[in-house]
């Protein structure tokens, strides 16, 4: 049966007749509405609950109307025949709830009783006079934190009867679906029936859910996975970030049976993200333990090759155990071997240099002078354990170096993949003229690798392009720097390659 709470004025209209208090406004309509409401009560279609404290207000009004105690007694019996008084909530509880609330001036005592009692019994609506509704809404506005999840409709009698005649859907939304629980500070939180303390924690804040260590319900320690009851006061004890998945012993996303832990989508998503972050951290610990910096640099490169979104995805798979460290090492070693072979084939070393043990050395293309295939180059060797740095022959960095540090090398390829990093002002059509210049003037193949908006009104754009010996990279960079809204242009990486 549908549960409602009705304000004292309308209850007195039902007991006596509209106009009992000399308020004759819309008297005919009010009389008809009261008759219709009484029919619904008599036919047991709706159930009216009488909150503690409202009875005293009605009795006081009856005593003002009648001096005959028998008549007053009869009206009280009529009232009790219409309503249910078993709310399982006392006047002291309502008073305690209301002590932390702020109230407007000239309020009646009945408004907070109606609001709090309706929440306690999960009423479908409060039926009240326009004056009572206005005052109740003022109380809600003054206490927005407390009433944040409060969604019980406040309806005047005419609106209620109109809604009822059109269908009961407006009242069925709350039927057997929700509970209201409280924070220690008496903030109301609405949750579905069957919700646990985990649902509560994630409803308050994601960080509180992630750090949930234990819970006190009504000041007693309580299981995190046991359903909460309507009216419970719930206090979450915080620990470290990620404690929740440790306590629940969740080890694998695929093995989670969500209903064992929570009901709400917010809690399910929160647990999933928390576990993912935990496993990702464990994966990075494995990577840092077993791989050198050279190997770690390759992880980002092979993410796409393995159909992963990023290097964090690889770390997550390692942490979860679906990717083994041996498998990852084998993939990286193959990648490094193929890259080293390709680089070595792109450059030619003199015979005397090969005899000195330089044949298996790695190469790095310098980003200070940006040498590309077709330009005169020279290598700088600081030690046999470090890669040979490839510079333009006119680069200032080679001036003053000793001959034993220089290695004569030449290109064995005619093109290179160059990655440029541009910082552009965040305005529309900033990038289009740059791409048009690359296509129309220089006939350069290019690909936008990424666009990252920054906090300083600038965007970082990575452009990959294929340059041949016919192109002059420094000239391209100088021209791009002079274009409108371009703040910075620099070379991020140069990778020479041969056509196979």
pLDDT at 353: 53
Smallest Cα–Cα separation from 8: which of 69, 64, 67, 51? 51
Looking at the domain 416-497, which fold is it?
Alpha-Beta Plaits (3.30.70)
According to CATH, the superfamily of the domain at 2-176 is: 5'-nuclease (3.40.50.1010)
- HEC string of the chain equals CEEEEECHHHHHHHHCCCCCCCCCCCHHHHHHHHHHHHHHHHCCCEEEECCCCHHHHHHHHHHHHCCCHHHHHHHHHHHHHHEECCCCCCHHHHHHHHCCCCCCCCCCCHHHHHHHHHHHHCCCEEECCHHHHHHHHHHHHHCCCCCCCCCCCEECHHHHHHHHHHCCHHHHCCCCCEEEEECCCCCEEEEECCCEHHHHHHHHCHHHHHCEEEEEECCEEECCCCECCCCCEEEEEECCCCHHHHHCCCCCHHHCCHHHCCCCHHHHHHHHHHHHHHHHHHHHHHHHHHCCHHHHHHHHHHHHHCCCCCHHHHHHHHHHCCCCHHHHHHHHHHHHHHHHHHHHHHEECCHHHHHHHHCCCCEEECCCCCCCCCCCEEEECCCCCCCEEEEECCCHHHCCCCHHHEECCEECCCEEEEEEEEEEECCCCCHHHHHHHHHHHCCCEEEEEEEEECCCCEEEEEEEEEEECCCCHHHHHHHHHCCCCEEEEEEEEEEEECCC
pLDDT bin (cut points 50, 70, 90) of residue 500 is low
CB 480 within 8 A of CB 448: no
Where is pLDDT greater, at 460 or 498? 460
Highest mean pLDDT among 120-124, 183-187, 340-344, 377-381: 377-381
pLDDT at 36: 92
Where is pLDDT greater, at 441 or 86? 441
Q: Which residues contact 186 (CB under 8 A, 6 or more apart)?
A: 97, 100, 146
pLDDT bin (cut points 50, 70, 90) of residue 11 is very high
**% of the chain surpassing 70 pLDDT:** 88
d(CA 140, CA 163): 23
Residue-wise pLDDT tens digits, 131-187: 888 888 889 888 888 887 787 888 888 878 877 876 555 455 444 577 788 888 777
Section 267-296 average pLDDT: 85
Residue-wise pLDDT tens digits, 399-439: 888 888 888 888 888 888 898 999 998 887 888 889 888 88
Q: What's the angle, vertex CA 117, arms to CA 96 and CA 191, rounded to 5?
A: 95
pLDDT at 23: 80
Intervals of CATH 3.40.50.1010 along the chain = 2-176
Give phi and psi for 278, each to the nearest 5.
-60, -50
Strand order in the sheet with 212-217: 220-222, 212-217, 234-238
d(CA 394, CA 232): 78
Smallest Cα–Cα separation from 494: which of 346, 394, 378? 346
Token pair 């960095």: residue: 397
pLDDT at 70: 86
pLDDT bin (cut points 50, 70, 90) of residue 354 is very low
Greatest CA separation found in the chain?
126
CB 396 within 8 A of CB 380: no
pLDDT bin (cut points 50, 70, 90) of residue 304 is low
Intervals of CATH 3.10.20.30 along the chain = 178-323
Residue 355 pLDDT greater than 50, yes or no: no
Which CATH code for domain 178-323?
Answer: 3.10.20.30
pLDDT at 208: 92
Residue-wise pLDDT tens digits, 189-242: 888 888 999 999 999 999 999 999 899 988 888 888 888 887 788 999 998 887
CB 389 within 8 A of CB 454: no
Q: Which residues contact 2 (CB under 8 A, 6 or more apart)?
A: 45, 46, 47, 124, 168, 171, 175
The mean pLDDT of the chain is 82
pLDDT at 263: 86
Intervals of CATH 3.30.70.260 along the chain = 416-497
Smallest Cα–Cα separation from 136: which of 171, 101, 86, 172? 101
CB 409 within 8 A of CB 349: yes
- How large is the C-alpha radius of gyration of the chain? 38
Section 461-477 average pLDDT: 84
Torsion-angle region of 356 (φ positive above 0: left; ψ -120 to 50: alpha; else: beta): alpha
Q: Is 0.85 surpassed by the pTM of this model? A: no
Residue-wise pLDDT tens digits, 32-52: 999 999 998 888 888 899 888
pLDDT bin (cut points 50, 70, 90) of residue 481 is very high
Q: Which residues contact 221 (CB under 8 A, 6 or more apart)?
A: 214, 215
């Amino acid at each position: 049966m549908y549960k409602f709470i009705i304000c004292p004025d309308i209850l007195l209209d039902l007991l006596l007749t509209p106009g009992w208090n000399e308020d004759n406004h819309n008297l005919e309509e009010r009389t008809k509405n009261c008759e219709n409401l009484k029919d619904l009560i008599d036919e047991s279609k709706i159930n009216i609950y009488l909150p503690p404290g409202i009875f005293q207000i009605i009795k006081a009004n009856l005593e003002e109307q009648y001096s005959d105690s028998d008549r007053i007694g009869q009206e009280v019996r009529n009232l009790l025949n219409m309503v249910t008084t078993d709310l399982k909530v006392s006047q002291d509880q309502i008073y305690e709830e209301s002590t932390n609330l702020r109230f407007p001036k000239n309020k009646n005592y009945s408004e907070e009783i109606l609001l709090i009692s309706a929440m306690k019994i999960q009423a479908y609506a409060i039926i009240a006079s326009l004056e009572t509704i206005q005052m109740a809404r003022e109380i809600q506005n003054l206490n927005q934190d407390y009433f944040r999840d409060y969604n019980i409709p406040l309806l005047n009698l005419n609106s209620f009867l109109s809604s009822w005649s059109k269908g009961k859907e407006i009242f069925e939304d709350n039927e057997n679906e929700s509970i209201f629980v409280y924070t220690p500070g008496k903030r109301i939180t609405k949750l579905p029936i069957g919700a646990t303390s985990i649902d509560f924690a994630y409803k308050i804040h994601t960080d509180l859910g992630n750090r949930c260590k234990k819970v006190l319900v009504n000041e007693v320690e309580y299981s995190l996975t046991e359903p909460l009851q309507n009216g419970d006061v719930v206090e979450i004890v915080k620990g470290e970030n990620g404690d929740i998945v440790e306590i629940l012993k969740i080890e694998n996303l695929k093995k989670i049976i969500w209903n064992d832990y929570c009901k709400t989508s917010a809690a399910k998503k929160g647990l999933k993200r928390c576990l993912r972050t935990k496993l990702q951290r464990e994966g990075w610990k494995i990577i840092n333990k077993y791989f050198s910096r050279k190997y770690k640099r390759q992880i980002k490169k092979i993410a796409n090759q393995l159909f992963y979104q990023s290097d964090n995805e690889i770390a997550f798979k390692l942490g979860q155990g679906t990717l083994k460290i041996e498998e990852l090492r084998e993939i990286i070693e193959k990648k490094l071997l193929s890259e080293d072979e390709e680089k070595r084939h792109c450059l030619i070393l003199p015979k005397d240099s090969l005899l000195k043990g330089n044949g298996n050395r790695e190469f790095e293309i310098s980003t200070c002078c940006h040498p590309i295939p077709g330009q005169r180059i020279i290598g700088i060797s600081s030690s046999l354990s470090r890669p040979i740095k490839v510079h333009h022959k006119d680069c200032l960095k080679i001036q003053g170096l000793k001959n034993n540090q220089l290695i004569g090398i030449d290109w064995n390829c005619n093109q290179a993949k160059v990655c440029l990093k541009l910082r552009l002002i965040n305005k529309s059509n900033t990038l289009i003229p740059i791409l048009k210049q690359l296509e129309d003037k220089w006939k350069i193949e290019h690909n936008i690798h990424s666009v990252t908006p920054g906090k300083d009104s600038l965007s970082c754009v990575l452009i990959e392009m294929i340059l041949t010996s016919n192109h002059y990279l420094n000239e391209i960079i100088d021209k791009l720097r002079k274009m409108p809204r371009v703040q910075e242009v620099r070379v991020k990486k140069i990778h020479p390659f041969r056509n196979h």
